[in-house]
Amino acid sequence: MKEYLVGANDAGQRLDRFVKKVAPRLPDSMLQKTLRKKDIKINGRPAKGDARLEKGDTVRIYLTDELLEGVKAPAPVKQRAVKLSVAYEDENILVVDKKPGVLCHDAEGWSPTTLIAEIQSYLRQKGEWRPEEENSFAPALCNRIDRNTGGLVIAAKNAEALRIMDEKIKNREIEKYYLCVTLGQPHPARGRLEGFLFKDAKKNQVYVYDEPRVGALSAVTEYRTLSVRGELSLLECHLITGRTHQIRAQMAHAGCPLLGDGKYGRERKNRDYGEKMQLLHSWRLRFAFTTESGVLSYLDGKTVQGSSPEFAEKYFGENV
Domains, the chain: 2-61 (3.10.290.10), 86-170 (3.30.2350.10), 174-316 (3.30.2350.10)
For residue range 9-51, list pLDDT tens digits in order. Answer: 999 889 998 998 888 888 899 899 999 999 999 999 999 999 9
Q: Please, which pLDDT band fits residue 233 given cuts at 50, 70 and 90?
A: very high
Quote the CA–CA distance of 149 and 142 in Å, as a whole number.
Answer: 16
For residue range 129-149, list pLDDT tens digits in order. Answer: 998 888 888 999 999 999 999
What one-character-per-residue DSSP string does 20-71 give? Answer: HHH-TTS-HHHHHHHHHTT-EEETTEE--TTPBP-TT-EEEE-S-TTTTTT-
What pLDDT is recorded for position 74? 45
Whether the per-residue pLDDT at 232 is higher than 90: the answer is yes
What is the C-alpha end-to-end distance of the chain, expressed in Å? 59
Quote the CA–CA distance of 244 and 188 in Å, as a whole number.
Answer: 25
For residue range 104-116, list pLDDT tens digits in order. Answer: 987 666 677 899 9
- Mean pLDDT value of segment 180-208: 95
Whether the per-residue pLDDT at 90 is higher than 90: the answer is yes
Whether the per-residue pLDDT at 272 is higher than 80: the answer is yes
What pLDDT is recorded for position 105? 85
Whether the per-residue pLDDT at 66 is higher than 80: the answer is no
Quote the CA–CA distance of 132 and 138 in Å, as a whole number.
Answer: 11
Whether the per-residue pLDDT at 279 is higher than 50: the answer is yes
Distance from CA of residue 64 to its chain's centroid? 37
Q: Which residue has the higher pLDDT, 227 or 23?
A: 227
- Mean pLDDT value of segment 189-205: 95
Per-chain mean pLDDT for the chain: 91
